[in-house]
Amino acid sequence: MLPNPLHPAVVHFPIVLAVLAPLVAAGALWAIRRGVPSRRAWSVPALLLGALVLSGWVAAQTGEREEDRVERVVSERPIHAHEEAAELFVYATAGVLAIALVGLLPGAAGRAGRALGTVGTVALVVVGWNVGHTGGELVYRYGAAQAYSAPRAGGADVVRASRDEDRDH
């Protein structure tokens, strides 16, 4: 049986893969310098980036499905900030994957793709950090987890109103 809500369970996959991507890319560059054929060594970070695009997309889709429920307890502004950060992350990851795929080519184009792809993986950590930060704020600052808790005295409207007041101050 799948966890409910699903989004918090799947968001950790892109986080882990984003942190691993620069390490795997650097390891592949090191392996190429040690004589491993570039196409074979570079296929590992390319596959990891493919998995990162897929896991980021799944995380974004599950978040989108749960947005209405969370909006009952959290104002739209922080949810929108998290959603925008997640969309940027998925698009940026797809872009880095495209660059990394060039790294599978031989010659100067492949070397450039591998170098730019490695730099891109470092940038993905920064972009991914922002997604995680805004998601963490939803849970720990704005109380998004309350959307899945048993109702308390005062109801969700009171919680949401207090969150809106916190934001205004």
Give the tens place of pLDDT for each residue, 79-97: 999 999 999 999 999 999 9
Domain contains 91: yes
Domain contains 1: no
The yes-or-no verdict on residue 151 having pLDDT over 80 is no
- Cα–Cα distance for residue pair 162/144, rounded to 1 Å: 13
The yes-or-no verdict on residue 155 having pLDDT over 70 is no
Six token digits for residue 76: 């739209």
- What pLDDT is recorded for position 148? 86
- Cα–Cα distance for residue pair 2/77, rounded to 1 Å: 29
| Cβ atoms of 19 and 111 closer than 8 Å | no
Give the mean pLDDT of the chain: 90
- What pLDDT is recorded for position 29? 98
Buried b (16+ CB within 10 A) or exposed e, 140-160: eebbbebbeeeeeeeebeebb
Domain contains 64: yes
Structural domain harbouring 163: 7-168
HSE-up of 63 (CA within 13 Å, CB side)? 26
Instruction: Give the percent of the chain with pLDDT over 70.
Output: 88
Domains held by the chain: number: 1
